[in-house]
Amino acid sequence: MSSAKARFLAWRRERPRTPPLERRAVRVRGLDFAVWASPPVPGATPVLAINGGMIYGHDLLWPAFAPFAAGRQVFLYDQRGRGLTPAPPGLRAARIEHDVLDIVALREALGLARWDLVGHSWGGGLALLAAAEDPTGVRRVVTFDAVGATSGWLDALHASALAHLERRGATEARALLALLDPLLLHEPDPERHAEYSRTMYAAWFHDQEMRSFAPPPAHSPTGATVAARLRREGFDWRARYAAVQAPVLLVHGEEDALPIAEAHATARLIPTARVVPIPAAGHMPFFENPEPTFAAALRFLAEPDDA
């Protein structure tokens, strides 16, 4: 049987050429956000891709999300204080609620009446929170391995990742992760958050060969501040998730260290949500098993509004 990496590369070769992205600066809530857009597709609802990782920029999802651009315009952006978007003043006050309001304001600044949101990991959580905040502006939501509605999963993630690496026989990666104390992430030290993110990366894959898709190192004091606050204070978004009115597709790798049970718990909160498990995939099913992952997502986005 071929490896997940070989299957992914073969799948990529069969896809249409990745479309070019146009970069622009969009003034949103006092900051010039770095925004990228694929060519417009008349008559199709545009998509905003929202990356996770807390400290990363949009390139965590591009060109991986290029299949969405085959039938609609795709927008990507660097969140405040990440990538090429400048950090906000008053850094110590940074919190995830600011990121949510940025998404709503970005749609308005782009002059779009409605769009679909596609988010990965923490970006999936942002997509759901933004859909609750902006019910008339969000048509549909797709999440890939989204974070859970409460911080319980986050408290258990380090142990889950160590167990996952042990099952996969990734002895060296497990030993490196075991040296790090996740309690130190309660403080907004950007170097420490960057080190933990790099070390944790191996645990996100079912097939360890996929670690070669690791993103370039990232560093964000803003992202570290937001992440530290969430870890330190905890969160409970159940009421906000339950307020989502848009249809929601929760795509989740069956072998993710962030358990698929979180997706099922989220689906129980949102009447319009359903879960699609992706076999032989961890936290990034769009890399490890892209064919069923994108087939499910694109089919869902193509459904009529009353479906």
Give pLDDT tens digits along the chain (307 positions). 578 888 888 998 999 899 999 999 999 999 999 999 999 999 999 999 999 999 999 999 999 999 999 999 999 999 999 999 999 998 888 999 999 999 999 999 999 999 999 999 999 999 999 999 999 999 999 999 999 999 999 999 999 999 999 999 999 999 999 999 999 999 999 999 999 999 999 999 999 999 887 777 899 999 999 999 999 999 999 999 999 999 999 999 999 999 999 999 999 999 999 999 999 999 999 999 999 999 999 999 999 887 6
Whose tokens are 């315009």? That residue is 73
Residue 141 within any structural domain of the chain: yes
Tell me the longest C-alpha to C-alpha distance in the chain.
53
> What φ, ψ does residue 200 adopt, rounded to 5°?
-75, -20
The Cα 307–Cα 298 span in angstroms is: 14
Residue 237 within any structural domain of the chain: yes
The Cα 242–Cα 265 span in angstroms is: 11
Whose tokens are 């359903």? That residue is 274
44 and 305 Cβ atoms separated by less than 8 Å: no
pLDDT of residue 1: 52
pLDDT of residue 93: 84
The Cα 103–Cα 79 span in angstroms is: 9
118 and 142 Cβ atoms separated by less than 8 Å: yes
The Cα 1–Cα 235 span in angstroms is: 42
CA atoms within 13 A on the CB side of 116: 26
Q: In terms of DSSP bridges, do strands 31-37 and 22-28 run parallel, antiparallel, or are they unpaired?
A: antiparallel
Residue 126 within any structural domain of the chain: yes
Residue 209 within any structural domain of the chain: no
Phi-psi sector, 163: left (phi>0), alpha (psi -120 to 50), beta: alpha
Write out the H or E segment, with its range, that includes residue 142: strand 138-144
In the structure encoding, which two tokens stand for residue 68, read together? 């969405």
Write out the H or E segment, with its range, that includes residue 72: none
Q: Number of folded domains in the chain? A: 1
Residue 202 within any structural domain of the chain: no
Residue 15 within any structural domain of the chain: yes
pLDDT of residue 267: 99
pTM over 0.75: yes
Residue 304 DSSP class = -
- Residue 123 structural domain: 4-151+230-302
Whose tokens are 């942002």? That residue is 126
Q: In terms of DSSP bridges, do strands 31-37 and 74-77 run parallel, antiparallel, or are they unpaired?
A: antiparallel
Residue 39 DSSP class = P
Residue 119 within any structural domain of the chain: yes
50 and 117 Cβ atoms separated by less than 8 Å: yes
Residue 213 within any structural domain of the chain: no
pLDDT of residue 26: 99
40 and 112 Cβ atoms separated by less than 8 Å: no
Map residue 170 onto helix, strand or coil. Answer: coil
pLDDT of residue 307: 60
Q: What is the CATH number of the domain that holds 46?
A: 3.40.50.1820
